[in-house]
Every structure is written in C-alpha cells, then in structure tokens.
C-alpha cells in the first residue's frame, strides 16, 4: 500500500559546499541518498516535499556540517493479509514468482487452488485449470500477501491465490 510518510534524514555536508546554494546541495543529496531505497520494511519511491532543513551543526572533530532534513515521501509498505496485483515473472514446478512493484512474491503450489496443474512442456511453463485461468509469464494476478520477511535492503514475501476473487486477472 502506498503512503505519504513524514521521515527524517541526517545529511553531512562537506565544507567545500558551504555557500549560498547549500540548501540545493542538501536537496540533491537527499534525493540521491533516500529515493529508490528499500529499508527492509518499506520502500521509498520519491521525495514529495521537503518540510524543513534544520540549522547546520558542525560535528566536532570533522569539518562536516550536519543537517536534519524533515521531508514527506511516497513510500510503499506491504502488509500481511493485503490483496495486491502483480505480474508473473517466473513459473517453476513448485509455484510461481510475481513482481509487485519492487517486491518479489512467491506463491507456492500449496497456495494455489487444488484444481491447478503445472504444464512444463512448451516454451512457456504455466499453471492452469481445466476450464479456467492460465497463469504464465507476464500474466497479471491478484494475490494475498501471506507473509513478509525483511532485512536491510531486501524484502521477501509469500502469497496465496487460494481464495475467491484471487488469481489471474482478465486483461
């Protein structure tokens, strides 16, 4: 789920940048440091607005000035139990992988409807039902996130389509 979250970041500015345009350097450094990062629980997509840049404080022992920047960013945070749409990237005989934005979700065989069978032959392996949906690479699926694990920089999730209204979306 996308949120507009208020966050804070500390930036160290080298003395060679102490000039009237220091706030511009701070802004660019903030964009570089924080945008497109994955903290393990959420992903920061883009900085929307910088709320305030604190007064600089020279760190003793170094010449760097420290700024505390308060800003608002669009973040993406997956929740256990949330229903999301994703695009299938890989089909294996144990299930399939789908990308939900920057998160790779694995849906295992046990979380597919029991009527789905794996077809390994042909150039595109797929999971399909006798008279119903086909899931193969590049299909769009609606899945429920069952579990999320995060470590700094990476998130892993497992999902399920074993419920009503989940599974391949008509395109």
Site of interaction with other proteins (CB under 8 A): 1-5, 27-28, 31-32, 35-38, 41, 43, 45-46, 48, 74, 76-77, 79-85, 87, 99-102, 140, 142, 163-166
- Least distance (Å) from other proteins to the CB of residue 96? 17
Nearer to other proteins, 118 or 142 (CB): 142
Rg of the chain over all Cα atoms, to the nearest angstrom: 22
Nearer to other proteins, 118 or 136 (CB): 136
* List of residues 6+ apart from 91 with CB closer than 8 A: 97, 118, 124, 125, 126, 127, 135, 136, 137
C-alpha 26/C-alpha 34 separation (Å) is 12
- Least distance (Å) from other proteins to the CB of residue 120? 27
Neighbours of 151 (CB within 10 A): 11
Nearer to other proteins, 121 or 138 (CB): 138
> For residues 33 and 62, is the Cβ–Cβ distance under 8 A?
no
- Least distance (Å) from other proteins to the CB of residue 118? 26
Nearer to other proteins, 31 or 118 (CB): 31
């Amino acid at each position: 789920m996308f949120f507009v979250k208020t966050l804070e970041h500390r930036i160290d500015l080298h003395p060679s940048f102490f000039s009237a345009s220091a706030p511009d350097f701070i802004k660019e450094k903030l964009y570089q440091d924080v945008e497109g990062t994955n903290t393990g629980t959420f992903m920061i997509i883009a900085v929307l607005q910088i709320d305030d840049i604190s007064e600089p404080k020279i760190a003793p022992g170094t010449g760097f000035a420290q700024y505390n920047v308060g800003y608002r960013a669009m973040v993406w945070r997956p929740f256990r139990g949330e229903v999301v749409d994703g695009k299938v990237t890989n089909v294996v005989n144990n299930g399939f992988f789908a990308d939900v934005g920057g998160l790779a979700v694995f849906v295992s065989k046990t979380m597919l409807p029991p009527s789905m069978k794996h077809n390994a032959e042909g150039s595109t392996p797929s999971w399909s039902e006798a008279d119903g949906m086909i899931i193969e690479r590049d299909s769009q699926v609606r899945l429920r996130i069952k579990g999320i694990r995060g470590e700094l920089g990476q998130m892993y999730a497992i999902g399920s389509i074993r419920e009503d209204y989940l599974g391949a979306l008509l395109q």
